[in-house]
A and B are shown apart, each in its own frame.
Chain A
């Protein structure tokens, strides 16, 4: 307005010159998204609960399991169960928070390319899956050492590398399912309910269908992602056909809906 106006004490005293800004690197986006997953109250407690539940599960095996069952496989299974439930929740919230908590208004104005933001979230989700699973393996190993020492039995390492890597893959697929639901529904409550529907309700329906319709019996492993998921958690995905089944269920439940969801997400209005 007029020259008499005293500029407020900002740090923007210098004349505004147009800077040549450099594009935001993807590594930075991934770091930011990783941080965002755990700096909310819900995110923080989810992360804590992974650690706490791993320790509780380990403790339970030590206390309740008969001495003959104090083997790495049992620690491994006990820790894997709660983790397989919490990890998809973390994946869901990583995406849906932007809409349900409306933080997307800021996120997508700072980074207009929504595809890049979702990509960074996907990478951050995989990193969390890797980190958590490795943490689970470690807690289980410590539990196995402590448990066998307490029970006075030999420490049994009866989990193969193949089984361990399949469990890791299973966790990642579970997170991918959650992530996909987040991208498609863009609503925290909806996606969490959706996750329990596809992981708890759907298998029962498909099981029933396989019982009453014989032709579906052979088809089920190709469609039911819970089926291939259980195979992974048990480390039983061995043959080429079993891997093909996993590819098929992943295609049906992750790849196709994710692509369609992303197309809608990129055009949708952020409010």
Chain B
């Protein structure tokens, strides 16, 4: 379990992470989402002790990362696949990590095989690796110590479709065995498929957190009628704000039951009434982070 409490990290002139609190539970995959520069990576760096927080704390199974006697055996970390000495071979990087943790060297071969690097590739220097290969090497490093917690920043970046599928199975399998997975990604589809819980961050603040079902259910209601203007009007009179979309659908934050009742009272025949979950994670993400998006897109 990863617990982040009132975490704040300020740099000269700006606050990268602002009073962030959340929990990534054991046995679940927690997706960590946010636009570029929202503070995801900073939060993750604080978790593993690479950045000192201005205030607040992050603990892994109740302990500060820096207090873990041999962190590699408890927490698998992949923050940046490119952050490796380019002049070392992939195998050497794993050997060094394995030696540091005090593991038998056989573990290195097991990991190389697990992440589907060929023995020839493992002998090449990392400067010749593609991003996907570096990512695989990074995942191998993270899994080396057979940890209970995984902290992964954009692990799917650069992986091929088969690799993404493999990673998905790996992480869900890891969580189903009681492991904790915290995973950040811009690939919303990936997160939607993998994550059980979501934490959305924008401008350094948490804008939403909860189970995936809760958050996606909160996407509101979509209704259609032969006279959408009347429906929107009736909703407005009932005190329910709604938006009339160009395709004739009416969207609102109220739940479908209330929308149906309003339509019945107003004598408007509905042709469609459903929760707007079809909108999915992308719409939710864009609407939640609308204020913080660089492009200023509205959901």
Q: Is the beta-carbon distance between A40 and B87 smaller than 8 angstroms?
A: yes
Most buried by B among A29, A97, A106, A267: A106
Q: Is the beta-carbon distance between A110 and B176 smaller than 8 angstroms?
A: no
A212 CB-CB contact with B under 8 Å: no
A213 CB-CB contact with B under 8 Å: no
Smallest beta-carbon distance B79→chain A, Å:
6
Alpha-carbon separation in the docked complex, A136 to B207 (Å): 64
Known: A18-B61, A24-B102, A101-B84. A112 touches B178 (CB 8 A): no
B179 nearest CB neighbor, chain A only: A16
Q: Is the beta-carbon distance between A42 and B87 smaller than 8 angstroms?
A: yes
User: Given A10, A13, A18, A101, which contacts B85 in the complex, CB threshold below 8 Å?
Assistant: A101
Alpha-carbon separation in the docked complex, A267 to B97 (Å): 23
B18 CB-CB contact with A under 8 Å: no
Interface flags for A2-20 (1: CB within 8 Å of B; 0: not) read 0101111111111110110
Tally of B interface residues using CB under 8 Å: 57
B65 CB-CB contact with A under 8 Å: yes
**Chain A binding surface SS class:** loop
Smallest beta-carbon distance A66→chain B, Å:
43
Q: Is the beta-carbon distance between B69 and A22 smaller than 8 angstroms?
A: yes
Known: A101-B86, A112-B71. A28 touches B177 (CB 8 A): no
Alpha-carbon separation in the docked complex, A113 to B71 (Å): 11
Q: Is the beta-carbon distance between B77 and A28 smaller than 8 angstroms?
A: no
B187 CB-CB contact with A under 8 Å: no
A270 CB-CB contact with B under 8 Å: yes
Stretch from B165-173, B216-224, B265-273 at the A interface: B165-173
Known: A1-B175, A39-B92, A110-B97. A21 touches B74 (CB 8 A): yes
Q: Which residues of chain B (69-98) have a CB below 8 Å from chain A?
A: 69-75, 77, 79-80, 82-89, 92-93, 95-97
Alpha-carbon separation in the docked complex, A112 to B52 (Å): 12
B residues in contact with A36, CB < 8 Å? 96
B101 CB-CB contact with A under 8 Å: yes
Q: Which residues of chain B (211-258) have a CB below 8 Å from chain A?
A: none
Known: A24-B102, A35-B99, A110-B101. A12 touches B83 (CB 8 A): no
A160 CB-CB contact with B under 8 Å: no
Q: Is the beta-carbon distance between A105 and B61 smaller than 8 angstroms?
A: no
A197 CB-CB contact with B under 8 Å: no
A239 CB-CB contact with B under 8 Å: no
A107 nearest CB neighbor, chain B only: B100
Q: Is the beta-carbon distance between A112 and B100 smaller than 8 angstroms?
A: no
B110 CB-CB contact with A under 8 Å: yes
Alpha-carbon separation in the docked complex, A66 to B88 (Å): 45
B residues in contact with A41, CB < 8 Å? 87, 125
Alpha-carbon separation in the docked complex, A11 to B144 (Å): 10
- B residues at A contact (CB < 8 Å): 29, 45, 48-52, 61, 65-66, 68-75, 77, 79-80, 82-89, 92-93, 95-97, 99-102, 110, 114, 125, 141, 143, 146, 148, 166, 169-170, 172-179, 196
- A residues at B contact (CB < 8 Å): 1, 3, 5-16, 18-19, 21-24, 28-29, 31-32, 35-36, 39-43, 97, 101-113, 267, 269-271
Contacts A16-B178, A42-B87, A102-B80 aside, 15 further interface pairs with beta carbons under 8 A come to: A8-B170, A10-B174, A12-B179, A24-B102, A29-B100, A39-B96, A40-B88, A101-B84, A103-B88, A104-B83, A106-B83, A106-B141, A108-B50, A109-B49, A110-B72
